[in-house]
Structure 1
Amino acid sequence: MTNTLNATGETPAEIPEYDISRPMRCPLDPAPAMRARQAEGPLVRIRLWDGTIAWLVTGWDEHRAVLSDQRVSVDPFQPGAPKLSPGERAMIDALKKQGKSSVGTSFIMMDDPEHARLRRMVTSAFTIKRVEAIRPPTQKIVDDLIDKMLDGPKPTDLVEAFALPVPSLVISELLGVPYDDHDFFQSNSKTIINRDTPGEERVAARQRLADYLGGLLDEKLTHPSEDLLSMLAERINVGELSREEATEMGVLMLFAGHETTANMITLGTLTLLQHPEQLALLRDSEDPKLVASAVDELLRYLTITHGGLRRVALEDIEIAGQVIRAGEGIIPVNETANRDPSLFPDPDRLDLTRDARRHVAFGYGIHQCLGQPLARMELQVVYPALLRRIPTLTLAADLTEIPFKHDGFVYGAYELPVTW
């Protein structure tokens, strides 16, 4: 028998609240409320902060079914699209005031065919072959930063000394962005991903990044070089992209290229320090297959893009015996899908030898993360180098003292004090 959102007779107050808070005693696990919803079933109803009701997707099979269904939209401007925080709703309202829709913003907020048209413009830059070509320079970046750590004071903050500079340097080189400007783009990125940032401030931060990238693109139009922004500038020259579209692509890649990987480096290192037997397994292995397996298991176990994706049904669909009506919001939750025991036995155990390649840390379907080959390569370089070169690495603070990013759309830690 199927149920619809309005057919159960429940009042909104009887529907569980959407709660992604993680207690300090287990900050690396999914929120208890999300696990409780997962125990109720793979598709359940949830009440958002503004009283609206949406479908929460907690199961791995159902997660992939939703994200691969062309009747489900990613467009946050669609009626019924869920807003996960007041700041997110205010940002969409502010963009509407500017006359914006999903077209004119990042292509990750668009549906096909426009999404596919724009995504194809940059896909070639993130192929495995292209990414492998920059593995040696990435290794040098990592080694140089470790040298600086070893020569510097201790304890030190791993975030500022290592986790943030690695992907920032890599994406700056790939895009053709001056790394000297990293304080500017990192501070604006932090404003954008904070759940509590007022909408107008978030839009202003996006605009500052857009103005910055737009200026760099203008330079590349007349003085191109061997980088991704120059490639986008050439697309503008031949009429395949507008300047606004190219600028938005640059903002997306600059933002996503450092923020997510930096948090994954931080939390992955912390997780390994909390699991010394798994740390030793990775540190002592020379097998690239084990390193690749370890990275995917850490991606599965941690799932830093926490709090759920945002989708809305464009037509009536049926998932897991439930009818989702057109215009109803859907929130697929990566972290519970990656802890689904039907696919990952004993899912709360970190096992670097596990085959975790089917995780959904990068999403699934047409909006699956474009930069995942780059992220995987960086992590495959980072963890072994850090653990082998600093074998006595240890936390310099109690776990309860670490400031985790409970207020962000990307989970991580603001600081990670370490010593050796």
Structure 2
Amino acid sequence: MTTAPLPELPGMPTARPAGHPFDPPEELAGVRPLARIPLADRTPGWLVTGFAAARAVTSDPRFSTRSELQRLVLPRFGMPDRMPPAPPGMFLQADPPEHTRYRRLLTGRFTVRRMRLLTERVERTVADHLDAMERAGGPADLVTAYAQPVPALVICEILGVPAEDHARFNGAARTFNDPAATAEETDRAWQELYAYLRDLVAAKRSAPTDDILSELTDSDLTEEELVNVATLLLAAGLDTTANMIALGTFALLLHPDQLAVMRDEPAAVDKGVEELMRYLSIPHTGQRAALEDVELEGHTIKEGDTVAVSLAAANRDPERFPDPDRLDLRRDAPGHLSFGHGVHQCLGQQLARVEMRAAFPALLRRLPDLRLAVPPEEVPLRSEADIYGVEALPVTWGPEGGGR
């Protein structure tokens, strides 16, 4: 097959355009739908940036998520370029039928209906933290005061983790997703979390309570699998939603017309949450390894090749979303890829939606004069992290003079 040569980038871009912290790296827009990039070990790899191509890769069983088959797209300090197989229970790095076994056990516990039944509990958690913010007064860091603790408390409660322990899980999740963390720091956080969850699983086996982890102790999962499933659910449920709440608030503060939609139009909240996820696309990439030669966009991806899928670029593809660089909370944008696609689509997506649908409007209605406490360019970004967001979001409210 004769095709035009693909564009090549010097590496996987992660830096956001100056003054545009919510836009994907500028290099991605010019290389849709497919490009070549060197991987962390300089091996040639593939970069998917088009919406249709991204859906094709993430739904095709000829592409594997198994970690030992892939090479790292971005270098991680102290990490090898080739990863070992994922331990039992880490189903994000498993293919069917192994992956199917775990998903079947978990899917019924994260249904739309079951997650919606949590709405009142989530709203209470949101209100409690807004009460605490008002009592303390501004300025405050929205990340530590609101965006992190709300999903942390919710996921810990769902899994039966005592609320007083949520801070340690939040810290562990940040360490796992921090590219600056050393191998020793990552390993120490993992070992501490694993030891705690091993004890928690044993406690649930002997005295089950009303939570998902207790339900899973009645399955055929081994202790190792149970602990790893719990670790994965905790880490995924903390970092992603926390960054969406913080970064989403940052985006709304810089788009006051859209902030007003989220605050004042209850009927627009559901669409608004979907649009924020499309517009921000906080996971940098998804990764796959080709299990055989696969034709994609007129090019042959060879067996064993690593493919990076830029969700941010795909969600800004003008062939799928008209005027994609405009934030429009009234946009009808179903099918965005921020939760992935195919059999690996995010298990906890309904929980994340419940949390964001509660967190954004409640914050903006309780603090209608919420504003940044620093210039936008001084907000520290997580540009190199696997999950994009802000390190901190200094905000204030009340009379002018209490902050920016």
TM-score of the superposition, structure 2-length normalised?
Answer: 0.94
Matching residue of 1:327? 304
2:107 is the counterpart of 1:123: yes
Instruction: Read off the aligned partner of 1:210 and give its amino acid letter.
Output: Y
Matching residue of 2:369? 392
- CA RMSD in angstroms, aligned pairs only: 1.9
Q: In the alignment, is the contact (CA less than 8 A) between 2:173 and 2:238 conserved in 1?
A: no
Which residue, 128, 138, 147 being the options, matches 1:154? 138
Matching residue of 1:353? 330
2:197 is the counterpart of 1:213: yes
Q: In the alignment, is the contact (CA less than 8 A) between 2:41 and 2:81 conserved in 1?
A: no
Q: In structure 2, what is the Cα distance between the partners aligned to 1:385 and 1:105?
A: 36
Matching residue of 2:401? none
Q: In structure 2, what is the Cα distance between the partners aligned to 1:266 and 1:375?
A: 13
Q: In structure 2, what is the Cα distance between the partners aligned to 1:392 and 1:40?
A: 41
Give the C-alpha shift of residue 199 in structure 1: 3.5
Unaligned runs of 5+ in 1: none
Q: In structure 1, what is the Cα distance between the partners aligned to 2:113 and 2:13?
A: 41
Unaligned runs of 5+ in 2: 398-404
SS at match of 1:40: coil
Matching residue of 2:79? 90
Which residue, 64, 67, 83 being the options, matches 2:55? 64
Matching residue of 2:20? 26
Q: In structure 1, what is the Cα distance between the partners aligned to 2:334 and 2:110?
A: 19
Would you say how many aligned residue pairs link Structure 1 and Structure 2? 397
Q: In structure 1, what is the Cα distance between the partners aligned to 2:328 and 2:182?
A: 40
Task: Check 1:9–1:351 CA distance in 2 against 1; reply closer, same or farther (3 A cut).
Answer: closer
Q: In the alignment, is the contact (CA less than 8 A) between 2:12 and 2:74 conserved in 1?
A: no
Q: Deviations over 1:319-370 (max 9, x none)?
A: 1111111011100110000000001011000001111111000000010000
Q: In structure 2, what is the Cα distance between the partners aligned to 1:51 and 1:108?
A: 25
Task: Check 1:391–1:114 CA distance in 2 against 1; reply closer, same or farther (3 A cut).
Answer: same
Q: In the alignment, is the contact (CA less than 8 A) between 1:305 and 1:411 conserved in 2?
A: yes
SS at match of 2:76: helix
SS at match of 1:194: coil
Matching residue of 2:280? 302
SS at match of 1:226: coil
Q: In structure 2, what is the Cα distance between the partners aligned to 1:91 and 1:253?
A: 24
SS at match of 1:67: helix
Matching residue of 2:232? 252
Greater alpha carbon shift after TM alignment, 16-25 vs 323-332: 16-25
Greater alpha carbon shift after TM alignment, 149-158 vs 346-355: 149-158
Give the C-alpha shift of residue 389 in structure 1: 1.3
Q: In structure 1, what is the Cα distance between the partners aligned to 2:279 and 2:289?
A: 27
**Identical columns (%):** 44
SS at match of 2:100: helix
Bigger fraction of residues in helix = 1
Q: In structure 2, what is the Cα distance between the partners aligned to 1:259 and 1:92?
A: 24
Give the C-alpha shift of residue 200 in structure 1: 4.5
Q: In structure 2, what is the Cα distance between the partners aligned to 1:142 and 1:379?
A: 10
Give the C-alpha shift of residue 91 in structure 1: 5.7
Task: Check 1:368–1:121 CA distance in 2 against 1; reply closer, same or farther (3 A cut).
Answer: same
Q: In structure 2, what is the Cα distance between the partners aligned to 1:149 and 1:163?
A: 12
Greater alpha carbon shift after TM alignment, 49-58 vs 182-191: 182-191
Give the C-alpha shift of residue 227 in structure 1: 0.4
Q: In the alignment, is the contact (CA less than 8 A) between 1:103 and 1:110 conserved in 2?
A: no
Matching residue of 2:44? 53
Q: Deviations over 1:98-138 (max 9, x none)?
A: xxx23425110111100110121111111011001110111
SS at match of 1:118: helix
Q: In structure 1, what is the Cα distance between the partners aligned to 2:326 and 2:266?
A: 23
2:399 is the counterpart of 1:419: no
Q: In structure 2, what is the Cα distance between the partners aligned to 1:169 and 1:9?
A: 46
Matching residue of 1:227? 211
